[in-house]
Amino acid sequence: MTELKQRVGRPIRPVLSRDTIAIHALELVTDHGFEKLTMSQLAKKLGVAPSALYNHLDNKADLVLLIQDALVSQVSLRGMAQLIEGEVSLAAALEDWARSYRSVFASYPSLIPLIAVTPVSEAPQTSHMYDTVAKALITAGVPEDHVITVVVAFESFLFGSALDVNAPANVLDAPEGDIWLAHVIKASRKVSDPIFEAEGTEHPPRMNSDHATAPFLFGLQALIDYTLRFIPSTASAATS
Amino acid sequence: MTELKQRVGRPIRPVLSRDTIAIHALELVTDHGFEKLTMSQLAKKLGVAPSALYNHLDNKADLVLLIQDALVSQVSLRGMAQLIEGEVSLAAALEDWARSYRSVFASYPSLIPLIAVTPVSEAPQTSHMYDTVAKALITAGVPEDHVITVVVAFESFLFGSALDVNAPANVLDAPEGDIWLAHVIKASRKVSDPIFEAEGTEHPPRMNSDHATAPFLFGLQALIDYTLRFIPSTASAATS
């Protein structure tokens, strides 16, 4: 209420907050890539003086933390929360988290190299995600000294998969002379032809018209299967 | 010999070639990142006029292909060549290629988002790598319509792993309050303490002082194991 009173008489303008700043920063990154993002450009987009921006942010490194939190808070933790409650399997929780994670980062490929190396301890939403995932994995039976290994292995794959989403469909076209490459590309495409679809679906997933989907599903299943080896009951179920 | 004669009387200077250009471009990328690489800066570093550079390159997109080839030609294809000759297993060939691939790209993180989306058909060394890997995987029995899926899944993981090599050791430090994250980080570090090493090595690999190694080995083994499911003999060997 105090805050509201103070604002009486001021011109109507969205109050500058870390959330507002993050939203506008992400818009600039979407339009121009992270390299082109400057504090002065961001201030201009927000319609404030750079000094107003510096009331909320110390520097561009602080802006990176803000952006990281704005992205990571979009990643679904529903599966992990359900795993903690015993409502879904470890495999289901990992899949929910991984699909959502890849989807969020696929929209911001220029941020991936930066976020991959930014410490999380100053980004509260980000460290909260890791905290929830750690709790869920321990609850499911992943040995506590392997949790970080599992999470980072998934993330490495998800960052790379998010980049691959942005590759053009012809990223692997073969030049004349590379006959093996040409052959496997042709074979990959064949299976998305309706005539060949009738052969039925096989496991693991095949390449289809969305070039990035099959590799993502293949790697995701590989990582999930390998993680399940930590869980005695699943491991014995898989081999019996 | 003809070429040698033409050079008589000219000042001694390395002949400008696409190889020389690529080496100097990679040096600039190492020092300043890809964003800062310009044709004029590259010409300056080579000690030539920009016009001389344009005799070898059409534009910056052409420079990207040149850089891509210079990097990819450093990736080991020895294991894949041995697989084609029947001298090593599919698992060994994939591991040789993957370790080398990650190591090469870990030195150039700023190039990863770019190379992940650059079509390979105009980069002869790059398409040659894919051609060799395709031939090797088919030789080993990977179904031809799954080869691209396998290769792209590995690459997604390797790009992300190469980024993770560049993360600081404290990238996952926990802030106060995130007790689960703090707990698993502590558990990860414990195992690299010599006192705890005596407990013996377990499979899969544990986190150690090189924070990026264990997640890489975990994901690599996951992908190799899943790929081996395509090979009937290995699959039955694994379950027997």
Distance CA A136, CA A153 (A): 16
Greatest mean pLDDT range, A123-137, B24-38, B173-187:
A123-137
Percentage above 90 pLDDT, chain B: 64
Quick check: ipTM above 0.95? no
Specify the CATH superfamily of domain B2-57: Homeodomain-like (1.10.10.60)
All residues of chain B having their beta carbon less than 8 Å from the beta carbon of residue A195 are none
Check if CATH label 3.30.1330.20 holds for domain A75-167+213-231. no
B13: closest CA of chain A, how far (Å): 34
A interface mutation test: which of B148, B151, B161, B171 has the most A CBs within 10 A? B148
For chain B, what is the mean pLDDT?
A: 85
Question: What phi and psi, each to the nearest 5 degrees, are found at residue A175?
Answer: -75, 165
Quick one: fold of B75-167+214-233? Tetracycline Repressor; domain 2 (1.10.357)
Interchain contact A60–B (C-beta under 8 A): no
Hey, which residues 156-175 in chain A have their CB within 8 Å of chain B?
A: 156-161, 163-164, 166-168, 170-175
**Is the model's pLDDT at A18 over the cut of 90?**
no
Q: What is the pLDDT of residue B43?
A: 94
Q: Where are the domains of chain A?
A: 2-57, 75-167+213-231, 169-211
Interchain contact B85–A (C-beta under 8 A): no
A interface mutation test: which of B181, B220, B225 has the most A CBs within 10 A? B181
Between residues B25 and A36, which one has the greater pLDDT? B25
All residues of chain A having their beta carbon less than 8 Å from the beta carbon of residue B99 are none
Query: pLDDT tens for residues B11-24?
Result: 555 678 888 999 99
- Nearest residue in chain A measured CA to CA from B185: A148
All residues of chain A having their beta carbon less than 8 Å from the beta carbon of residue B174 are 121, 127, 130-131
A135 CB-near residues (< 8 Å, 6+ apart):
A80, A84, B180
Distances A121 to A30, A95, A162, A206, B186 between C-alpha atoms, Å = 25, 25, 23, 40, 15
CB B113 to CB A113 under 8 A?
yes
Query: pLDDT tens for residues B140-194?
Result: 999 999 999 999 999 999 999 999 999 988 888 888 889 999 999 999 887 654 4
User: Which of A156, A180, A184 is the closest to B157 by Cβ?
Assistant: A156
Same fold, B2-57 and B75-167+214-233: no
Residue A160: exposure state from Cβ atoms within 10 A (0-12, 13-18, ≥19): buried
* Weakest-pLDDT range from B27-31, B80-84, B231-235: B231-235
Size of interface A-B (CB pairs under 8 A): 270
Between residues B8 and B238, which one has the greater pLDDT? B8
- 8 A C-beta contact, residue A174 and residue B122: no
Query: pLDDT tens for residues B49-104?
Result: 999 999 999 888 899 999 999 999 999 999 999 999 999 999 999 999 999 999 99
CB A149 to CB B122 under 8 A?
no
A interface mutation test: which of B64, B105, B146, B239 has the most A CBs within 10 A? B146
- Nearest residue in chain A measured CA to CA from B150: A215
